[in-house]
Amino acid sequence: MRILIVEDQPDISTLIADRVRRAGYAPHCVQALADIPEALGACDYSVMLLDRRLPDGDGLSIVAAAKRIRPGIRILVVTAARSIEDRVDGLDAGVDDYLTKPFSTEELLARIRASLRRPGGEPAPPVVVGRLSFDLNSESASVGGFPLVVPRRELVLLGALMRRAGRAVTFSALLQEIYGSDEHKHIGALKMVAMRLRHRLDEQDAGVEIHAPRGIGYLIREARGP
């Protein structure tokens, strides 16, 4: 599960990112309202942790647009704005939960888990390429109707490619989704994950191929004939 953290104070942003990463989520941090649409367009985030007092405005002003870009995303406000009126404004704006600073990271994780258990809008149809089907709602895959069981990083890579089936996904975007970082030291690890996933899909006769446009990244497409 990917989490977008919108927080302009680096110490708080780092604290939250480290804690959610240790809990098994993939965090990405931005610092302003203007950064949010691009971030949501690049990755399929399940949760956004949103501060209200940002350099370019009130975080609540982006809630409606964020839900148009990513229907079903859960938005949790994490803010120092703590009056009853502030909470009411947040809930009326469409956020899913409201947590005030200072906060316990354990409570934050509990609220994230609770938000993910609640329905998040209309379910998205599966993405199908060849005999491979990827369920965007459960983040699970199947081949010919039978579940495809893969390690977590292979599944994250597969999901990132299937959500953009037929289009190249850059190394940087994939590294961010899988490792929460686009540092070059992970490129070798990413290539190993892709190699293992290719082998697994070939073994299952999934009817797809993972193509690597030179110097760009990876894309998944239906396998071509001999």
Query: Could you read off the pLDDT of 193-214 as tens digits, one per residue?
Result: 999 999 999 999 999 999 998 8
Gap between the Cα atoms of 66 and 84, Å rounded: 24
Provide the pLDDT for residue 150.
92
- pTM of the predicted model as reported, rounded to 2 decimal places: 0.55
Count Cβ neighbours within 10 Å for each residue of 146-174 and write b for 16 or more, e otherwise.
eebebeebbbbbbbbbbbbbeebbebebb
pLDDT at 183: 62
Mean pLDDT of 110-138: 78
Ramachandran region, residue 160 (left: φ > 0; alpha: ψ -120 to 50; beta: rest):
alpha
Find which of 5-14, 23-32, 85-94, 96-105 is predicted with most confidence, using mean pLDDT. Answer: 5-14
- Find where tokens 């703590």 sit: 82
In the predicted model, is pLDDT for residue 9 greater than 90?
A: yes
pLDDT class of 87 with cuts at 50, 70, 90: confident
Task: For residues 26-52, give the mean pLDDT.
Answer: 92
Q: How confident is the model at residue 184 (pLDDT cuts 50, 70, 90)?
A: low
